A = this chain, B = another copy of it.
Amino acid sequence: MLSFVVDAKDKNCSARAGTIKTTHGIIETPIFMPVGTVGSVKTLTPDELYEIGATIILGNTYHLHLRPGDDIVAHFGGLHRFMNWKRNILTDSGGFQVFSLADLNKITEDGVEFKSHIDGSKHFFSPEISMEIQKKLGSDIVMAFDECVPYPSEKSYVAKSLERTTRWAKRCKEYSLDYHQSLFGIVQGGVFKDLRKISADQLIDLDFPGYAIGGLSVGEEIPLMYEIAEYTAQLLPEEKPRYLMGVGTPEDILNGISFGIDMFDCVMPTRNARNALLFTSEGRLSIKRADLAKSDDPIDKNCDCYTCRNFSRGYLRHLYKAGEILAMRLNTIHNLHFYISLVKSARNAIINGNFEAFKNDMLLKLNQGGNNV
């Protein structure tokens, strides 16, 4: 079971710095978790992730169940050993993918029947099955099986769904995980504050070691997402880690931190990297740009990642244009380093009592380069 302490709180907003401890080490929060969908953070080795400073990565239960299969991963002693990753792993419940990726057949009180997006084969996920799979994967943080409703949804449906998500969370809690695993509850309720309150209260009653805010960044406008995230974060216990699932841009993360969120994950830095879109301290940069062909500069003069220490924009542009796989690797290293440095800097600012100034300065910088793309 994990432990969590709040190391420092900001005076002007809800931002906080904390420390999570598990059997796989320390996670200083706020933290960004690179997404390792199917047993690798795309293009990178564990050693590269250590160098970037990643202390926890995310694995996808849905994907790993379909390929290679959780029995295979269990044969190797769990996901840590399978992929040779020695730090923390959080696995999602498969709920989000079942609803977003799979060909959905039927939701019942018992669970969800769905077809694989890979081969159309039929599968069934219930709270117990999701727990069983995540137990086999051996992740340090296990997510409760929930229904992530689409946006927009009828309020009546969202209300009905969140009640079922609570009943499912209870069933997850009754499942016996490994001693080293911690189960997080996921607050749902769509964009309706009263429903978020109901969901949060019900889950807090179940006393999880951590809470996630699910069902956001699924199509709603950003101001509404911020409003619901901030509102929901305040409902959650101070002494437990808070995780905003699947969010988001650097701007979203800075705002999320100010709402009191501790943990973030998103495919954006890795996916964008593979599509030539880079994050820098002066805004976004498309490495495809023709005018970079002779640029001797690194991606970001303020960055000390492996890519920026060793390669020019001109070389990276060439690699990308020539379709070289090395382009995706080097871009991924940079983008993940940017995200992880961002949350590290936010943490330091919180501890040093100047988070608000840091945040406003970063938001300005991130915007100034809006035209670079």
Contact = CB atoms under 8 A, between A and B. Distances in A.
Interface of A: 38-40, 42-46, 67-68, 72, 75-76, 82-84, 293-294, 296, 310-312, 314-315, 317-319, 321-322, 324-326, 328-330
Contacts of A43: 325-326, 329
A304 to B, nearest CB: 16
Given A72-B314, A296-B76, A39 B319 contact: yes
B326 A68 contact: no
A155 B150 CA distance: 72
A76 B293 CA distance: 10
Given A72-B294, A76-B315, A38 B329 contact: no
A66 to B, nearest CB: 9
Q: Residue among A46, A76, A322 with the most chain B CB within 10 A?
A: A322
Given A325-B42, A329-B329, A315 B83 contact: yes
Given A44-B326, A321-B68, A322-B68, A39 B315 contact: yes
A76 B325 contact: no
Contacts of A83: 315
Nearest to A332: B325
A40 B319 CA distance: 8
A319 B76 CA distance: 14
A320 to B, nearest CB: 11
A72 B293 contact: yes
Contact of A315 (B67, B82, B318): B82
A59 to B, nearest CB: 13
A310 B68 contact: no
Given A43-B329, A312-B76, A324 B38 contact: yes
